[in-house]
Structure 1
Amino acid sequence: MSTKDSLIKGTLVLAIAAFIARFLGIFQRVPLQNMLGDNAMATYGIANSIYFLLLMIATAGIPVAISKLVSERIAVGKFAEAQRIYAAAIKFAIFAGLFMTTLLWFASDYYATNIAKDKDAVLAIRALAPALLFFPVIAIMRGYFQGRQQMMGNGISQIVEQIVRVIVSVGLASLLLFMGTTEQMAIAGATFGGVVGGVAALLVMLFYWRRLKKQDIKDQQPDISNEKNQEEIKAAKSLTYRKIYKMIFKISGPVILIAIAVPAINFIDSSTVISLLEGKLGYSSAEEMLGILQNRAQALAGLPIIFSIAISQSILPIISSAYAKKDQLVLNRQTSLALRMSILFSLPVILVLCIAAEPINVLLFKNTLGTSVIVYLTASTIFQVLMMTSGTILMGLGQFKRPMIHVSLGVILKVAGNFLLAPWLGIGGIILSTAISFSIVMILNLLYLKKTVSYTILGKKWIGTIVTSLLLIGVGYLITMFNQSMIQLSIERITYAVHSIILGPIIGILYLLFMIKFRVITENDIRHLPIRIQKVMQKVLRLINR
C-alpha cells in the first residue's frame, strides 16, 4: 500500500470512528441537557474540562512520542526496539494514572469552589476521577497502534467507549433522578459513565493487542519476552528504560503543550466565564451561558475537527517514516495532501452546522438559546483544523520547539482575550478570543513549516472554495426561508427536525457538486479513495463534467 493510500485509509477509518463516537457524545448530552438543564450541564462541563486537561497532561505527549519512535524503528527494521519502547511507556502510563487520579480526587474541592466557582462540581469531578486509571494506558496503546499504522483497534475502541459511556451516563442519571436523589448526585452519575466507558475501551484495545501480537508471531517478528532472535533482542535490551524515557520526554514535553491547546482553552473558559460574565449577567445567567458554550456550542463545533484529528493521527507515522528515510518528495506530497484534506473534509461540516444551526439547536436542545454562539464558534474551527494538522506535521519532522512556542503564545492570547473582550462583548468576546488564539497559532505553524517542506494547500482552488461557500450560504438562506413559510407543524421540535433533515443533506450534496464543478475536487483527488467510494465519485465526476 502506498503512503498516500495509507493516509487516506487511516484517515477514513479514524474519521468514521470519530464521527460515530462524537455523535454518540452529543447524543449523550441531549437527554442529559433535557433532564438537567443548562445550569446543571455547566457543572457537568466543569468536571469534564478539568478531567480532560489532566488526562492530556498525563498522556498527550507520550502517545505522540510512541507513535513517532515506533514508526521510525519499524521503518528501519528495529522491531524489538519498538516493542521495548512500548513496554516502557505502558509502565509509565500505569504510574501516571495512579498519580493523576489521586491528584484530581483531592484537588476537586479547591478547584470547584475557589476557581470554577461551582461547588456542586466536587462530586461530579470525584465520580469521574477513576477514569484516569485506565485512559493513560489506553492512550499509550493507541499511540503504539498508530505507529504501527494499525488504526482499526483505535477506531473500534472509541466507538465502544462512547456507546458504554452514553448508556451508563444517561441510564444512571435517569435512575438517580427517579430515585429522588439530589441533582448533584445525578450529575455525578452522568460523569461516572466515563469510568465505565474507559474500562470497555481498555478491553477492546487488549483484544486488538493480542491479535496484533499473534500476527507478529506468525510473521516471525522478534518478541522481547522470549529467547528467539537473540541478536536483535540483545540490541533492543541495550536500550535501557532510562534512555527510552529520556527519548520519550524529549519529544513528549513539548508535545504536551502542543496537544493541550484545545483542552487548555476549554479549561480557561470553564474556569473564567462565570466570574467574567457574572457582573454583566448575574450568576445564574452566567452559569447558563457557560452551559450553552460547553454543552451546545463546543459539542457541535467539535464535529468539523474530527477529520483533522483523524488526519493528524494518520499522517504522523507517515511523516516520521519519510523523515527518517530522508524522502523529501514524500514529505512534500504528504504534507500538501494532509493540509488539503483537512480543509476539504471539514468545510462541509462547518457549513452545514452554521447554516442549519437554529433547527439543529432546537432539535437537540429544546430551544434556540445560544444559536449565534454555535455559529460563531463553529466558523472559527477552520483555524483550529489547520492549526492541528500543521502542528502534527511539524512534530513528525522532529520540530517540537516551535509549535510549542506557538501554542504557548496562543494560550496566553486566549487568557488575555477573555479578560479584555468578555467585559465588552460578553460571550462574543470569549468566542472571539478563541478564534484569535487558533488563527495566530495556525499562521505561525504554516509559516515555519514552509521553511522545511514545499507544500501547497489549495493554490488557485481557493477561489472555487470561497465561491462554493458563498453560494451554499445563499442557498441555505433561501431553503430556511422556504421551510419557515411552508413547513410549520403542531409540535415545534418536529418542525425543526424536518428543517434539519432538509437542510443538511442538500447542503452536503451541493457542496460536493459545486466543488467538482469549480474543479476544486478533481479526478486526481479521488483516485486514492477506497475502490467503492472511488467508483461512485468517478460516476458523479463524469456526470457533472459532461
Structure 2
Amino acid sequence: MEQLSLFAEEGTDNLSKDSLVKGTVILAAAALIARVLGAAQRIPLIHLLDDSGMATFSNAFNIYMMLLVVATAGIPSALSKLVSERTALGQFDEARRIYRAAAMFALSAGVLMTVLLFVAAPFYERLSEVPAAALATRALAPALLLFPLIAIMRGYFQGRQRMAPNGISQIIEQIVRIVAAILLAYVLLELGWGHDWAVAGASFGGVVGSVGALLVMLYYSFKLRREDRRTGQVGNRTPTGAMSYRDIFGKLFRVSVPIVLFSLAVPLINAIDTTITVGLLQPGVTYEAAVDALGVLGGRAQSLAGIPIILAIALSQSTVPVISAAYAKKDYATVSTQASKALYISVITGLPMVLAICAAARPINVFMFTNDTGTGTIALLTASAMFQIVMQTSGAVLMGIGQMRPLIVHVAIGIAVKLACSFLLAPLFGIYGIIAGTALCFIVMTQLNLVVLRKHVNYTIMGGKWFGLIVTAIVVYAAGFAAELLTRTYVQPFGNWLDPMIGAILVGAVVLVAYIALLALTKVVTAEDAGRLPAPVQKVMRRFRR
C-alpha cells in the first residue's frame, strides 16, 4: 500500500514507466524473498519448539503484527507523497523537514506501542488461552521501538524514488531475524532454560532483525545525504510557504488513517484466528490438541498462504498511482483501463501460485515441517488467499479513486462475517470451520469492493472468459494432484527429507507449465491480453502459441 499515493497528483505523462516498473520489481522481489525466508524460518523452529511452541510464537507474532500495522501503515504512504511533491519542486529542505516531523511521530508511536504491548501481554495470554504467550509477546515488544522509524525512512526513500534501500533492508531484516531467532531458541534450550524461554528467544529475534534493518537504512540515509550535498540539494531553503508541523501532521493523518484501517484487515483476521482457535476447538478436542491445531494454523498455514499474495499485489499496485492521477484529471478512460489491468494481473498471476501450493501442500509440509500434519489446513487456507488477492487489489483501486469510507465499512463487515462464521462453523467442522470463516470474510469484502467500484469505474477483469479460467484451474489442480500422487509413489530416490522437496518442485513445475499451456490453448489469454502481463510471462506465452 505504500506506493498508493506516490504520484497521486502528477499527470500520467510525467510518470516514468521504466522507474515505476523497476521500483515495483525491486519491492516485489524483496517482499517475496522476505516472505519465503520467513516461511523457511518455521522449519528449524518447528524442530526446536514443536507445534505447541509454534502456537505460542504465532500468538505473539500476530498481535505484534497488528500493532505494527497501526504504528507504521499509512504514514509512509502519505510521507512519500509529500516528499515526492516537494522534491519535484526542488524544495529538498522542506522535504527533509516533513521527513523529520514524520520521524518524530514514528519515535513517539514506537514508544507508545511498545509500552502498550508490554502491559497488555498478560491479558492477551488469558484471552487466547495459550501458555507463555505473555513472555513471548513481551520479548518481541521492543521491536516496535524501531520499526515505525524504519517505516518512515522507507517512505522517505520511496518519495525520493529510491527503492533499493527499502528492498535490501527488508531482506537483511529477515536474515538477521531468522539467524537470531534460531540461535537464541537453540542456546536457551541447551542451557536448560526451558521451552517457554526458548519461544521467547525466538520472538526476540524480531528485535534483532529490526536493528539490522535500521542499520541498513541509516547507511543509505548517510549516502543520500552525501549525494545531496554533492549535487547542491542541501541548503535550498524555502522559508516562504513552508508548512507548520501542525499542517504536516494534519496532511499525514488525513491520508494515512484510512490506509491503516484497511491494512489492518489481514493481520487482524490472523490475530483473531490465533486468539479464538483454542477456545472454539476445545469442546470437541483436548486442550493439547487444540493448541497443536493452532500451531499448525499459525506456524505452517498462515506463512505459506501469504506467499501467493506478494507478486500479484506488487504487480497490480504498480498501476494504482496512474489511476490516482487519471481520476484527478477526470480521464475516466485511463482509469477504466488501468483498474481493469490491475485486477486482471492480480488474478492471472496469483492463481498459479495458489494452485501450486494447494497441489503440493503435502510434500511442502513434509519437507518444511517433517510431517504431513495439517496438510488440509494449509491447502484450504491457501485457496482462500485467491479472494484475499482480489480484495486487496480492488481495495487499492478504490483508494486510488478516493473511495476510502466504503472500504473501511467493508473491512468492518468482513470481520463481523469472520467472527460469526467461525463461531457457527467451528463446532461443526473444527479448524476447517475457522478457515471457512476466513474465506467467507475475504469473499464478502471482495464482492463489496467490486460492487462499489462498479459504481465509479467501468472495469472488466476477465470479461467473458471466467468459465475458461475456472475450467483451467480445475484441470491444472487435477494435474498437480495427480503429479503429487505419482511423485509420492514413484519418485523417492533418496529415502530422506530430499524426496518431498523434489516432489514439491516437480508438482509446482507441472502446475505452472499446465497453467500457462491451458491459458494459451483455451484462449483465456489472447495475444492482446498477454500484452498486459509482465514481459517474462509474455515470452513464455508466445512459445506456447507457436
Q: TM-score of the superposition, structure 2-length normalised?
A: 0.91
Decide whether the 8 Å contact of 1:67 with 1:316 is kept in 2: no
Please name the residue that 2:192 is paired with: 180
Decide whether the 8 Å contact of 1:68 with 1:320 is kept in 2: no
Equivalence map 1:92-491=2 (5 Å)? 92-112=105-125, 114-216=126-228, 221=233, 223=234, 226=235, 228=236, 230=237, 233-237=238-242, 239-311=243-315, 314-488=318-492, 491=495
- Shift in alpha-carbon separation, 1:77–1:438, aligned structure 2, 3 A: farther
- Specify every segment of 5 or more residues in structure 1 that has no aligned partner in the other structure, as ranges: none
Distance 1:396 1:150 in 2: 22
Distance 2:75 2:68 in 1: 11
Which region of structure 1 is more displaced relative to structure 2, 70-79 or 10-19?
70-79
Please name the residue that 1:52 is paired with: 65
Decide whether the 8 Å contact of 1:297 with 1:373 is kept in 2: yes
Task: Give the letter for the 1:376 counterpart.
Answer: L
Query: SS in structure 2 opposite 1:458?
Result: coil
Measured after TM superposition, the shift of residue 209 of structure 1 is 3.3
Identity of aligned residues (%): 48
Distance 2:337 2:170 in 1: 30
Task: Give the letter for the 1:207 counterpart.
Answer: Y
Distance 2:543 2:214 in 1: 47
Distance 1:325 1:219 in 2: 33
Measured after TM superposition, the shift of residue 492 of structure 1 is 5.5
Distance 2:352 2:41 in 1: 24
Measured after TM superposition, the shift of residue 390 of structure 1 is 1.5
Which region of structure 1 is more displaced relative to structure 2, 162-171 or 340-349?
340-349
- Shift in alpha-carbon separation, 1:155–1:313, aligned structure 2, 3 A: farther
Task: Give the letter for the 2:373 counterpart.
Answer: L
Which region of structure 1 is more displaced relative to structure 2, 408-417 or 32-41?
408-417
Please name the residue that 2:80 is paired with: 67
Distance 1:51 1:385 in 2: 23
Query: SS in structure 2 opposite 1:181?
Result: coil
Which region of structure 1 is more displaced relative to structure 2, 497-506 or 304-313?
304-313
Decide whether the 8 Å contact of 2:360 with 2:481 is kept in 1: no
Which region of structure 1 is more displaced relative to structure 2, 310-319 or 294-303?
310-319
Task: Give the letter for the 1:245 counterpart.
Answer: F
Deviations 1:179-229 (A, max 9, x none): 2221111111111111111111112222333444455556655x5xx3x3x
Q: How many residues align?
A: 533
Task: Give the letter for the 2:213 counterpart.
Answer: A
Distance 1:473 1:341 in 2: 20
Distance 1:220 1:213 in 2: 11
Which region of structure 1 is more displaced relative to structure 2, 46-55 or 334-343?
334-343
Distance 1:351 1:528 in 2: 22
Distance 1:35 1:149 in 2: 42
Please name the residue that 1:509 is paired with: 513
Q: TM-score of the superposition, structure 1-length normalised?
A: 0.91
Measured after TM superposition, the shift of residue 267 of structure 1 is 0.9
Distance 1:275 1:110 in 2: 15
Measured after TM superposition, the shift of residue 316 of structure 1 is 4.6
Which region of structure 1 is more displaced relative to structure 2, 41-50 or 455-464?
455-464
Distance 2:401 2:449 in 1: 13
Decide whether the 8 Å contact of 1:147 with 1:317 is kept in 2: no
RMSD: 2.5
Which region of structure 1 is more displaced relative to structure 2, 322-331 or 422-431?
322-331
Distance 1:316 1:89 in 2: 24
Task: Give the letter for the 2:289 counterpart.
Answer: S
Q: 2:104 aligns with which of 75, 91, 96?
A: 91
Measured after TM superposition, the shift of residue 337 of structure 1 is 2.0
Please name the residue that 2:54 is paired with: 41
- Shift in alpha-carbon separation, 1:171–1:184, aligned structure 2, 3 A: same
Which region of structure 1 is more displaced relative to structure 2, 498-507 or 426-435?
498-507
Query: SS in structure 2 opposite 1:263?
Result: helix
Measured after TM superposition, the shift of residue 495 of structure 1 is 3.0
Distance 1:147 1:395 in 2: 18
- Specify every segment of 5 or more residues in structure 2 that has no aligned partner in the other structure, as ranges: 1-13
Distance 1:173 1:473 in 2: 38
- Shift in alpha-carbon separation, 1:310–1:235, aligned structure 2, 3 A: farther
Measured after TM superposition, the shift of residue 459 of structure 1 is 1.7
Task: Give the letter for the 1:304 counterpart.
Answer: P
Distance 1:6 1:428 in 2: 44
Distance 1:426 1:6 in 2: 48
Measured after TM superposition, the shift of residue 420 of structure 1 is 1.7
Decide whether the 8 Å contact of 1:362 with 1:496 is kept in 2: yes
Distance 2:223 2:519 in 1: 41
Decide whether the 8 Å contact of 2:317 with 2:342 is kept in 1: no
Distance 1:337 1:490 in 2: 45
Decide whether the 8 Å contact of 1:8 with 1:529 is kept in 2: no
- Shift in alpha-carbon separation, 1:389–1:144, aligned structure 2, 3 A: farther
Which region of structure 1 is more displaced relative to structure 2, 71-80 or 264-273?
71-80
Distance 2:161 2:526 in 1: 27
Task: Give the letter for the 1:403 counterpart.
Answer: L
Measured after TM superposition, the shift of residue 421 of structure 1 is 1.6
Task: Give the letter for the 1:435 counterpart.
Answer: A
Measured after TM superposition, the shift of residue 117 of structure 1 is 1.4
Distance 1:75 1:446 in 2: 34
Deviations 1:221-249 (A, max 9, x none): 5x5xx3x3x4xx12452x11111212222
Distance 1:191 1:40 in 2: 11
- Shift in alpha-carbon separation, 1:251–1:296, aligned structure 2, 3 A: same
Which region of structure 1 is more displaced relative to structure 2, 311-320 or 398-407?
311-320
Measured after TM superposition, the shift of residue 51 of structure 1 is 0.7
Which region of structure 1 is more displaced relative to structure 2, 345-354 or 482-491?
482-491
Measured after TM superposition, the shift of residue 443 of structure 1 is 1.2
Asked if residue 493 in structure 1 is aligned to residue 497 in structure 2, the reply is yes
- Shift in alpha-carbon separation, 1:340–1:417, aligned structure 2, 3 A: same
- Shift in alpha-carbon separation, 1:394–1:79, aligned structure 2, 3 A: farther
Q: 1:12 aligns with which of 13, 20, 25?
A: 25
Measured after TM superposition, the shift of residue 150 of structure 1 is 3.1
Task: Give the letter for the 2:545 counterpart.
Answer: N
Distance 1:525 1:80 in 2: 45
